[in-house]
């Protein structure tokens, strides 16, 4: 169960009634709510910021993220080889990261390709630059 107000959000387990999180901040005064395709990651967003919550783990995913020309990008998902991309329209895509490459600045795929860069290291950060069409990633080792 998710309850939103002008100043914050409260997320609770609808079966047990246990509160999973309470979060306050200016984002929630104008936030929209959208769920990922699998329904496990609700995203709270406005035109400049996004916060994602993982209902499976009961934890926020990364830090608040800022918009880059209409695309809001989440940190890599913990313990998964994928990243969540939240578009300004509210669409949420979970993109897998596969295999290996040494190029840290790889051309981003088209929305329909279903492919992303190939990487063997543990992802720790990601940023998408809409103007160049590039997805930049950071790994545990730099």
Residues 107/133, Cβ–Cβ less than 8 Å? yes
Whole-number pLDDT of residue 9: 92
Whole-number pLDDT of residue 42: 86
Whole-number pLDDT of residue 108: 47
49 membership: H or E segment, kind and range: strand 49-54
Give the whole-angstrom CA distance, residue 66 versus residue 104. Answer: 21
Residues 53/10, Cβ–Cβ less than 8 Å? no
Q: What residue segments make up the domains of the chain, in order of their start?
A: 2-139
pLDDT band at 12 (very low <50, low <70, confident <90, very high): very high
Give the whole-angstrom CA distance, residue 7 versus residue 70. Answer: 24
pLDDT at 111 over 60: no
pTM to 2 decimals? 0.52
12 membership: H or E segment, kind and range: strand 8-12
pLDDT band at 11 (very low <50, low <70, confident <90, very high): very high
What's the token pair of residue 138? Answer: 């950071």
């Amino acid at each position: 169960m998710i309850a939103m107000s002008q100043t914050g959000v409260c997320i609770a387990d609808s079966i047990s009634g246990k509160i999973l999180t309470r979060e306050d901040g200016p984002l929630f005064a104008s936030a929209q709510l959208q769920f990922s395709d699998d329904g496990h990651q609700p995203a709270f967003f406005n035109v400049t910021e996004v916060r994602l919550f993982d209902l499976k783990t009961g934890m926020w995913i990364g830090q608040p993220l800022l918009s880059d020309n209409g695309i809001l990008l989440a940190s890599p998902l913990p313990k998964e080889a994928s990243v969540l991309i939240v578009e300004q329209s509210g669409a949420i895509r979970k993109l897998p990261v596969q295999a290996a490459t040494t190029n840290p600045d790889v051309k981003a795929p088209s929305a329909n390709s279903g492919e992303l860069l190939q990487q063997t290291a543990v992802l720790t950060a990601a940023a998408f630059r809409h103007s160049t069409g590039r997805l930049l990633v950071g790994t545990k080792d730099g």
